[in-house]
Amino acid sequence: MRTGLMLGASDGPDGTIEGLVKVAQDAEAKGFDNLWMANIFGLDAISTLSILGHATQKIGLGTAVTPTYPRHPTAIAQQALTAAAASGNRFSLGIGLSHKVVIEDMLGFSYDKPARHMREYLAVLGPLLKGETTSFKGEQFTVNNVTLNVPGAEHVPILVAALGPVMLKLAGEMADGTITWMTGPKTLSDHIIPGIGKGATSVGKPTPSIVAGFPVILTNDADEAKKMIDRVLSIYGMLPSYRAMLDKEGAAGPSDIAFAGDEASLRASIQQLRDIGVTDFCASIVAEDAQTYTRTLDFLADECA
């Protein structure tokens, strides 16, 4: 199982471009396998990872995740291929539907038939990322004879943030894996991994990548840390798709699926992910002071060794 760090999901030590370049270079030096970046209402994740890719040598890079609705699939394909070229083909494109409150209420797009939207999106995006000339006519997207030529870019893996049965099947059939957040180990084992695996098997594809994101903090006071996590990440306990996954896990809030505790506790939680078949552990360090952040970071780096 590979170990990576999440950027952008919670406050880190320095969220500027210059600061993130330093974070990326430090993470690479410490032996982390990947950096994943959330795309919310700050820095654009694909653009930022292109810069980080040009400033690093070997660490994997990926979005976790970029919403599909605001960007035409040809546009996001062009961005993703550019990020691949900038990073020496270390870039993976994580995409997701986002949430109705964002897409419909804030941005004004229709959130009707989200699974159809994703199926059509992938029907355009997948071939473009493989360098194929693409034509498609659907209800939401139509493209005619589009080819993208980005020098130095090769095939970009696609990860779909899939939680429900229909989306998991779709991700298995049309993407390379999934990336999750606010989804506990039991739900991963009993629902996510079998669901996407069944979709992949149905079309003869290899075992999908399972990138699992979790809030993480190394602490000797787990109770206080969990109170902080529920305060800092409270929005994730209210968004319907994440709320459904927390309910499936039997979790009252984000802290109930967080990795919060001492070294032994965190090692046991990480080992559980290995045991159930997670391919990539994505750690979002949630800490209110630099000392705790660094202590947690160094612990995770030791686990990578």
How much is the pLDDT for 10?
58
How much is the pLDDT for 168?
98
Task: Please state the domain count of the chain.
Answer: 1
205 is written with which tokens? 């594809």
283 is written with which tokens? 């750690």
Q: Which pairing describes strands 2-7 and 280-285: parallel, antiparallel, or unpaired? A: parallel
For 151-199, write each residue's pLDDT tens digit: 999 989 999 999 999 999 999 999 999 999 999 999 999 999 999 999 9
pLDDT in tens, the chain (305 residues): 999 999 976 556 678 999 999 999 999 999 999 999 999 899 999 999 999 999 999 999 999 999 999 999 999 999 999 999 999 999 999 999 999 999 999 999 999 999 999 999 999 999 999 999 999 999 999 999 999 999 999 989 999 999 999 999 999 999 999 999 999 999 999 999 999 999 999 999 999 999 999 999 999 999 999 999 999 999 999 999 999 999 999 999 999 999 999 999 999 999 999 999 999 999 999 998 999 999 999 999 998 87
* DSSP string of 201-255, one letter each residue: HHTTPPPPEEEEEEEEEE-S-HHHHHHHHHHHTGGGGTSHHHHHHHHHHT-SSGG
How much is the pLDDT for 305?
73
Domain that holds residue 265: 2-304
Domain containing residue 144: CATH number: 3.20.20.30
Spatial separation of the C-alpha atoms in residues 196 and 63, rounded to whole Å: 19
Angle in degrees, CA 298, 289, 39, rounded to 5: 80
